[in-house]
Structure 1
Amino acid sequence: MLSRLERWAIWLVVAGLGALLAGLVWDLAVHRLAPEATAHEEVLAPGNPGHHLFAAGLAVLVAGFCLLAVARLLQRPPASLSGLALAGALPVVVGLACAALALGATATHPEGTGEVAGAVEVEEHAHAASLGTGHEHQQQADAASPVPSLPGVEHPHGTGVPITAQQLLATAELVQRVREAARRYEDVRVAEAEGYRMTTRTFLYHYVNPTYYLDNRTLDVDRIESLVYARGPDGSLKLVGVMFMVRPGLEPPDFGGPLIGWHLHDNLCINPSTWMVEALSDSPSGCPRGTVHVVTGQMLHVWLVDTPAGVFADAEQVIPYLLRLGYRFR
């Protein structure tokens, strides 16, 4: 025969379970109807009623179980085996429920924090370089000239990019030729056999071919100066991009206009015998013993992995997307 306290406990369990399931269904419906609006919401978003209903149901469910445990403890001596089990389970259930609600209230969507931000920080400030992504780089992009409007006519088209058809075709052709030529380097051992040597090993692994770098044949897809690898989900190095390099003092080819983002680094400490970037410093005095302070020539990334950042984007813009695709540090 159930006691009055047990009956109340069972009703609380049923009500809590119903509210929890209703909140879950509500949340699924919201995500289905508005996926863009909920893509980056918190675990317990204030504006999502389904989350509140789910949390309330969980709280009521836990309260019901706790009340049921108390009712059973009042009927059975705590010294018995079942009584001791209930006495031990009660604080565990309450603690887990409180922890779940607290974590849900403070947690945020993973895309805004954590590994992505850490990867960009490490890649930008650690060994990025000639060959990666340093914090001192110069972008060359021409600003669009304002076009005068006719009096009394308002017909906005947004901000345009001043690019000619010739520049657009040349850029598309280069990207296609790079993709075809780079296929032979998908296995890093092939690149090493051809003379490429590792120069950075942070999130991105840059390999430079000294012969191709010194031959002044920029944008020659058969003699690409640098290859960019990242460690894939299976732990092996995957080719994710290439980088054309111009020697210091030389001007890079102007073929794509504002579509192309050439950049340089002026803070590298390089080991001259290995070409490895060992540290970053704004002045020669800050470089470790055995390294030399280097100001690079202009460089241009061409990414082989399609990302919203763009095919010529800076490395720090591409790293978050690579992480979301499963690429990793080690």
Structure 2
Amino acid sequence: MTNGRNGFLLLGGISSVGAGAVHFMAAGMHTEHATLARLMVVLAAIQCATGLAVLLSERKIVVTSMLAANAFAAGMWAFTRFADVPWIAGLTAEAPQVADTVCAGLGALAAVAAVIGLVRPTATLPPMRSGIAAAAVGVLALAAMLNGVGHVHSHGDTDDHAHAAGDDHAHADAANWPRPWDPTKPIDLSGVSGVTAEQQARATNLVRSTLDGLPAFADVNSVAALGFRSIGDSATGYEHYINMSYIRDNNFLDPAHPESLVYRVDGPNRTLVSAMYIANGKKIDDPTLVDFGGSLMQWHVHENLCWKMGDNGPVVAGVLDDQGNCPPNSVNPGSGNPMVHVWIAPHECGPFAALEGHGAGQASADGRRTDTCTHDHGSGHK
């Protein structure tokens, strides 16, 4: 460069600042995992601080600090593409996405530039090339941040979604929710009246993490070893497997510890389609549940199920009849813990849809369900 500064360190410093900026954005999308969000903020601050420091000074300790911060960030990203970090809630294995991949790439670029700066302190880049590279880094970081928040803060196209969802739920107070869900397309929970940006971000992250983590339980023949057992409801077309140890633990909306798994029944075959998260010991109107995703998510309880003892524990025997009676040799224990579905398979009623029909569960004494597509829940529709 014309001033004699190491051009690689200029590029590395800007890359570190860019990676830190994307990390700051990502932290806001993980607020349901407070410890993880705080750690991301700290890492983002270190990346920004060391990047700015390298732009002002080429001292070895400054460059080494930038190298360490960004090598750690990029390495952690690579590790969590394949494995969980069990001692940090929410830091689970997930498929690469645009924002986190760009963030990791910028961190890796900053680390490589730091190594070059340490090994070849007099190395330079032509001013034009270093300037273009630095500008490209800035544009890339901005694009990654816009991509990361695009499906959280965007409120456009609501009319199109309303038509796609159908007239059954095109009500003014519902603001076109629920609407059809296709997990192969970008997650878009935008444009729902009364839902805050924080609620939308939490709900979006829950769907994303469930899509990434739940397939680990796809093989129904392997889940028994983890403590799951069927409740014997395969005749409905869907079979629930519950895990009592997961119900009793302190994990909340954790795809690595789903309290219940839902499989679609096709003869002897079972296809995993949904998690059913259960909030142990909470009431359905608990603010922790109600405020998590706002009206996007509908928690429900089952007040009309009848249970009997099976070979491996309690199983569903049926539902209360019109006179409030259970089938012989079964009992109705009343409403249990609140629960909510998150689908990893397409569903016309959205990612948080409940199974409809007489046994679908009750959200409250009155009010419109936002996890179903119709108002007739006694039709047996699935």
TM-score normalised according to structure 1 size? 0.44
TM-score normalised according to structure 2 size? 0.39
* Higher-RCO chain (CA-CA 8 Å, sequence separation at least 6): 1
Asked which structure has the greater CA Rg, the reply is 1
